[in-house]
């Protein structure tokens, strides 16, 4: 169902109660661009695809699989990043953003430390999309120039067609034990939570989906860290009891990776798009 007028709370209640009715989001468009202010760490609406390699810590186009396109921008805006998977393709490109104080001394506002970070991106899977591509994004603490990590807030493909949050830590007994990127032998996995919206299903394909996360580092010595996921403004999954980094506080969250990695390979040739990326210290 598509409606031309905004729905009031009363209308939503009546529709939800009507026999045979099932509500779903048909499309999401931002009401207005978020102003760039002191809360904004980084914003990119991808209106231009120029200098992506110099604008970001790392940009891998996977030999043309992940590129800027002037079409398909959210809300009719010009420009988005398009990932096109070939059938069976596993690695199809990534965009890595550095911010805050980090061991590479690069990126946005790299003289500052951020204990709490929100990030948001719009994602669209082409009409008729099939399959769960496993990887979408991760917020992480880059803890050394060897790419070892403190906390990792994975937003991955969950059970079925939903997203999940899968928090992990490279800190054990208040010391960093990781020595490389994705050091699985030394990571502590803190407990996966699945979402609810089947964004990878054919029924949800062909429209822009708003994915937003919050990560807050634990108070040193306490298990009060936070990891929350929203889809289209709806709370999908949350943890508020995480011991992300113990008392190890040398670095805090300082990197966000957008990823196109399909563990088992794409089921067919199909595309998805990313647009309007924001990293902030406040809800977006």
* 156-165 confidence digits (pLDDT tens): 999 999 999 9
Pair of tokens at residue 68: 């800027």
What does the pLDDT average to over 262-268?
97
Q: Token pair for residue 129? A: 């999309």
Does position 234 have pLDDT exceeding 90, yes or no? Answer: yes
| Averaged confidence pLDDT in the chain | 91
What per-residue confidence (pLDDT) applies to 13?
40
Q: Is the pLDDT of residue 24 over 80?
A: no
Do residues 246 and 220 lie in contact, with contact meaning Cβ atoms separated by under 8 Å? yes
pLDDT band, residue 76 (cuts 50/70/90): confident
Residue 6: per-residue pLDDT: 41
Determine the Cα angle at 67 with ends 66 and 72, to 5°.
Answer: 105
- Does the structure show a pLDDT above 80 at 12? no
Q: Tens digits of per-residue pLDDT, 175-229?
A: 999 999 999 999 999 999 999 999 999 999 999 999 999 999 999 999 999 999 9
- Please answer whether residues 150 and 176 qualify as being in contact, where contact means their C-beta atoms are separated by less than 8 angstroms: yes
Mean pLDDT in residue range 266-284: 97
Q: Which residue did the predictor score with more confidence, 103 or 20?
A: 103
- C-alpha span between 69 and 25 (Å, rounded): 25
Per-residue model confidence (pLDDT) at position 10: 41
Percent of the chain at pLDDT exceeding 70? 87
Cβ(170)–Cβ(187) below 8 Å? yes
SS3 of the chain: the string is CCCCCCCCHHHHHHHHHCCCCCCCCCCCCCCCCCCCCCCEEEEECCCCCCCHHHHCCEEECCCCCEEEECCCCHHHCCCEEEEEECCCCCEEEEEEEEECCCCCCCCECCCCCCCEEEEEEEEEECCCCCCCCCEEEEEEEECCCCCCEEEEEEEEECCCCCEEEEEEECEECCEECCCCCCCCCCCEECCCEECCCCCCCHHHCCCEEEEEEEEECCCCCCCCEEEEEEECCEEEEEEEEECCCCCCCCCCCCEEEEEEECCCCCCCCEEEEEEEEEEECCCC
Residue 13's φ and ψ, nearest 5 degrees, are -65, -45
Q: What is the pLDDT of residue 37?
A: 78
Please state the rounded mean pLDDT for residues 113-132. 98
**How remote is the C-alpha of 278 from its chain's centroid?**
10
Average pLDDT score over residue span 41-70: 96
Query: What's the rounded Cα separation, in Å, for the pair 154 and 211?
Result: 13
CA atoms of 53 and 34, how far apart (whole Å): 25
Tens-place pLDDT, residues 237-260: 999 999 999 999 999 999 999 999
Max Cα-Cα span within the chain: 58
Amino acid 187: pLDDT? 98
Question: Which band of pLDDT confidence, cut at 50, 70 and 90, is reported for residue 36?
Answer: low
How many angstroms separate the CA atoms of 172 and 187, rounded? 8
| Tokens found for residue 281 | 């210290």
- pLDDT of 4: 36
What pLDDT sits at residue 35? Answer: 58
């Amino acid at each position: 169902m598509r409606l031309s007028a905004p729905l009031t709370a009363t209308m939503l209640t009546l529709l939800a109660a009507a026999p045979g009715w099932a509500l779903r989001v048909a499309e999401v468009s931002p009401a207005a661009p978020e102003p760039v202010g002191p809360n904004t760490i980084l914003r990119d609406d991808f209106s231009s695809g120029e200098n992506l390699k110099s604008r970001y810590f790392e940009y891998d186009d996977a030999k043309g699989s992940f590129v800027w396109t002037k079409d398909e921008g959210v809300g009719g805006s010009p420009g988005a990043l398009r990932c096109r998977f070939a059938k069976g393709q596993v690695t199809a490109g990534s965009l890595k953003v550095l911010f805050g104080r980090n061991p590479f001394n690069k990126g946005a506002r790299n003289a500052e430390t951020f204990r709490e970070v929100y990030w948001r991106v719009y994602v669209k899977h082409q009409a008729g999309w099939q399959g769960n591509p496993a990887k979408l994004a991760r917020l992480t603490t880059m803890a050394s120039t060897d790419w070892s990590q403190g906390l990792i807030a994975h937003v991955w493909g969950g059970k079925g067609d939903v997203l999940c949050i899968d928090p992990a830590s490279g800190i054990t007994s208040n010391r960093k034990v990781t020595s490389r990127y994705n050091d699985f032998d030394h990571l502590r996995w803190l407990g996966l939570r699945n979402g609810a919206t089947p964004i990878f299903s054919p029924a949800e394909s062909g429209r822009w989906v708003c994915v937003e996360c919050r990560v807050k580092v634990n108070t040193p010595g306490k298990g009060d860290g936070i990891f929350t996921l929203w889809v289209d403004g709806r709370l999908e999954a949350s943890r508020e009891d995480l011991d992300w980094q113990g008392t190890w506080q040398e670095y805090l969250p300082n990197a966000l990776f957008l990823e196109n990695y399909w563990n088992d390979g794409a089921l067919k040739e199909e595309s998805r798009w990313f647009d309007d990326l924001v990293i902030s210290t406040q809800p977006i």
